[in-house]
Structure 1
Amino acid sequence: MFNKQSTTVLRKVFLGFKYFSTNVKPKTGIVMLNMGGPERLDQVHDYLFKIMTDRDMIQLPIAQDVLGPWIAKRRTPKVQKMYEEIGGGSPILKWTKLQGKLLCDKLDKESPQTAPHKSYVAFRYVTPFTNDAFTELEKDGVEHAILFSQYPQYSCATAGSSFNEIYRYYKERKFPDHLKLSIIDRWGTHPLLVKCFADLIRKELEQVPEDKKNSVIILFSAHSLPLKTVNRGDAYPSEVGATVQLVMSELNFEYPYQLVWQSKVGPLPWLGPMTDEAIKTYVQQGRKSFIVVPIAFVNEHIETLHELDIDYCKDLAKEVNVDFIRRVPTPNDHPLFIQALSDIVKAHLKRKLPILPKFLTRCPHCVNDNCIDSKQWFSKVCRI
């Protein structure tokens, strides 16, 4: 005969088994959208090929079907060498899987009515691809799939490309009748994301020597965009700027700061000032102490581990005689970041709005025919 206390214990054991057993069908799927990165050197060419031929990501001035593959082939040896220098491959899949697991563990506890939760990685240019994620998701019998962009600030070239790929996937097949779909497309001003970045910055500021603290500049570095993309009305620059302002408000605006841009490719004009050029110019002005913040990235990959750490914080800093420079880590598995992800999902579910009007609105000068078809499709199929 069980007493009340033993019955409670058994119930907890059963629930624990229910939620963590691999045989239990997940009710809610969290599809984590990102660009991805090659884990092995032999993946680099195909990765670059997919980027250079994706017109959502980049529009080459002429003959993209010819010029894109040529650029990918030409750049492969150089990019492979860069990946060799950071350990032979990108850690973005490792971090995304960990973030997804920690998020779902937290959601299982904080949102039991939508549990069990399971995360699915949908990379754009390397495995696991969009079709891999949705094949697994459908096989699992997920009832509600939340498309969760892992770009905090929205750009048509990044998050937009991932959403368009989902539309193209289902353009070729029937959308499951039982599946509910909803979208989290941007979250760059979430208070816990802001607090996470502020906490990471404070920890690096603690390393600044006392005689340098009055001269240190915080450089918020984000992936740049071609100016023609910006001029079409892409929301990304303003959304990155909003994140920066909120982070600095959390830091009481105690230090000078500047939003700068990195990762320019090709000869066309891009949004600036560029991160490396800003460092050079500040040194010429007599400012030689820097904290570099990857404000638009949520996990480590080649643009943080090589471009920021090696190209700028090591090689460039030595070249121009920087006195002090440190790079702030990306959020990765920071507790505040994982709580931010959980709060974003819970607020999304509570709002009962499967898709925000901003997502359905095209840029004023949009030239992508695929964009309008994609948005119209999402407006019809998304529901909570």
Structure 2
Amino acid sequence: MKKGVLLVNLGSPDSTATKDVKKYLGEFLMDERVIDIPYLVRALLVKGIILNTRPRKSAKAYRKIWWPEGSPLIVLSKRLHKKVQEKIELPVALAMRYGNPSLEFGLQQLVNQGVTNVMIVPLYPQFAMATTETILVLAQQLVEEKFPTLQLESLPAFYNKKEYIQNLAASIQEYKNSFQPDYILFSYHGVPERHIKKSDVTKSHCKIDGQCCITSSAAHEFCYRHQCYETTRQVAEALGLEEGTYSTSFQSRLGRDPWLQPYTDATIDELAQKGIKKLAVATPAFVSDCLETLEEIGMEAAHSFKENGGEDFLAIPCLNDREDWVATLSNWIKDFQNK
């Protein structure tokens, strides 16, 4: 049995052209684990409404953050992949859940190298239906349909793993030392509240009432909300942050259904209005900087903060291809190699 590893990130349009952004958004938003409503209703919403308006706006946003080498998320993921491969004897491939390189392409690369046992590594610290779960479901479908000899394993959510917390805390501390913020906001990608309840394996624990996430339960293994708050708690503890100088919020909501709160945009405006002058924002739901971190936080949120009375704003970069994060990821893969 030959082992191999597939690193999987979210994905990105092939370019900033509206047609490429539309194609990418279509694949992303038609995923039943992203917009979890009946297919015909989802198709009407996505193809009949969203894809007629949103691609132009999104393309404009992508143009603001696009690098000469291409999409920041893709470029950073490739850098991470290259550095990890240099430390690992096993074949390591890179894929995106949406767009290119596809999951099928990544698996085929490993099969071409004789791999029969693949560890899928979703590059998301916290588990969520719309991230980790959709990656694992598609990977299993591809194995059943096209790669029947492959065996799959996966790296569990690492939101509370000691090494990851240390890496994240160290990355924040470096910027905290030079920027010296009055307040640190931990902003995570938002999901609808119904996703939290759908992921509840107990079918009764998750009530999103302020207590369920701090009450021990088997539900926490797949509870995105709990895992976000736990990441914040452990990093704040590692940094020695005082109560009242940090908090957790959620960004990027879509539609009218209730999403996880508090919302990042409203929280940032409120902090500025309350007299916070220097704000740093960390985005621990991502390991690679992308549209949500570079444009939504680094540009839009920064502008809004200053419009509401804030003075200095810092979007703390994700772990990207930091050497300590590369070492951590490589060590996890070595554990798989040595099993």
Could you tell me the TM-score, scaled by structure 1's length? Answer: 0.76
- Alignment correspondent of 1:291: 280
- Alignment correspondent of 2:301: 312
Which of residues 117, 122, 135 in structure 1 aligns to 2:108?
135
- How many matched pairs? 310
Whether 1:328 aligns to 2:313 is no
Q: CA RMSD in A?
A: 2.0
Q: Are residues 128 and 341 of structure 1, via their aligned partners in 2, closer, same or farther at CA, if it must alter by over 3 Å?
A: same
- Contact conserved, 1:33 with 1:159, CA < 8 A, in 2? no
Which of residues 223, 230, 239 in structure 1 aligns to 2:227?
239
Whether 1:268 aligns to 2:264 is no
1:257, distance to aligned residue in structure 2 (A): 1.0
1:334, distance to aligned residue in structure 2 (A): 0.9
1:318, distance to aligned residue in structure 2 (A): 2.5
Whether 1:183 aligns to 2:164 is no
- Alignment correspondent of 2:41: 63
Q: Are residues 220 and 272 of structure 1, via their aligned partners in 2, closer, same or farther at CA, if it must alter by over 3 Å?
A: same
1:171, distance to aligned residue in structure 2 (A): 3.1
Percent of aligned positions with the same letter in both sequences?
A: 27
Q: In the aligned structure 2, how far is the partner of 1:39 from the partner of 1:301?
A: 14
- Alignment correspondent of 1:118: 91
Q: In the aligned structure 2, how far is the partner of 1:155 from the partner of 1:267?
A: 20
- Contact conserved, 1:184 with 1:348, CA < 8 A, in 2? no
Aligned partner letter, 1:269: P
- Contact conserved, 2:9 with 2:95, CA < 8 A, in 1? yes
Q: Are residues 239 and 347 of structure 1, via their aligned partners in 2, closer, same or farther at CA, if it must alter by over 3 Å?
A: farther
- Alignment correspondent of 2:78: 97
Q: Secondary structure at the match of 2:258?
A: coil
Larger radius of gyration: 1
Which portions of structure 1, spanning 4 or more consecutive aligned residues, are displaced by more than 4 angstroms?
A: none
Aligned partner letter, 1:341: L
Aligned partner letter, 1:66: L
Could you tell me the TM-score, scaled by structure 2's length? Answer: 0.86
Structure 2: stretches of 5+ with no match in the other structure:
201-221
- Alignment correspondent of 2:21: 44
Q: In the aligned structure 2, how far is the partner of 1:224 from the partner of 1:331?
A: 20
- Contact conserved, 2:91 with 2:113, CA < 8 A, in 1? no
1:307, distance to aligned residue in structure 2 (A): 0.4
Structure 1: stretches of 5+ with no match in the other structure:
1-25, 108-114, 353-384
Q: Secondary structure at the match of 2:95?
A: strand
- Contact conserved, 2:273 with 2:310, CA < 8 A, in 1? no
Q: Secondary structure at the match of 1:198?
A: helix
- Alignment correspondent of 1:193: 164
Q: In the aligned structure 1, how far is the partner of 2:147 from the partner of 2:91?
A: 23
Q: C-alpha offsets along residues 48-72 of structure 1, whole Å, 9 cap, x if unaligned?
A: 0011111112224771122212312
